[in-house]
Amino acid sequence: MRPKRLQRTYSDSPIYFLTLVAHDRQKLFANAAVHTAFVVFAERGTDYGIAVGRYVLMPDHIHLFAGFAPESIGPSRWVKSLKNSLSKCLRSRGCSAPHWQKGFFDHILRSDESYYEKWNYVRNNPVRAGLVSDPVDSEFEGEICELHL
């Protein structure tokens, strides 16, 4: 049972903001093959109590939002599976391991935080990196499930 002071911070199905980073910041992820593998994996998340919301694949890191139901496998196990799945894709393209930095960054969105404000910041990463001039031109972003706080 959570202490009372945390009841407003956490919900039964919190939305996590997750960032996964490539080993040595290699440029591995912003390509059609990895994007397809990511979408296929993310779409299967609902079978495990995980709803992937919006995401963006940058060359050397991935940002995504995900909701985890109480009965889900949880963020750590899911991210490990995601990394394994994308590593399989990368190996099939001739990219040798290691592909990932250890661990990942996670932040639970609180009720006073805006999912859409955070998304707008993340969505502009390709613009800030000089990859596109407008976020709508980014090929490697999207939304699997609509998430709500």
Domain presence at residue 4: no
Domain presence at residue 137: yes
Domain presence at residue 2: no
**Based on the number of CB atoms within 10 Å of its own CB, is 74 exposed (0-12), middle (13-18) or buried (19 or more)?**
middle
Characterize 120-147 residue by residue with b for buried, 16 or more Cβ atoms within 10 angstroms of its Cβ, and e for exposed: eebbebbeeeeeeeebeebebbbebbeb
Chain position carrying tokens 């040595």: 24
* pLDDT, position 15: 93
Q: Tell me, what CATH number does 35's domain have?
A: 3.30.70.1290
Cα(106)–Cα(89) distance, integer angstroms: 24
Mean pLDDT by runs of 10 across the 149 residues of the chain is: 38 85 97 98 94 97 96 93 98 96 94 84 94 94 91
What are the residues whose beta carbons fall under 8 Å from the beta carbon of 28, sequence distance 6 or more? 22, 34, 59, 60, 90, 95, 99
- The strand order across the sheet containing 61-68 reads 105-108, 15-21, 61-68, 50-57, 141-143
pTM: 0.89
Domain presence at residue 139: yes
**Count of domains forming the chain:** 1
Domain presence at residue 7: no
Domain extent at residue 71: 12-143
End-to-end CA distance of the chain: give it in Å, rounded.
21
Distances (CA, A) of 56 to 4, 45, 53, 90, 111: 35, 17, 10, 18, 23
List the alpha helices (DSSP H) in the chain: 32-43, 75-92, 115-123, 125-128
Domain presence at residue 1: no
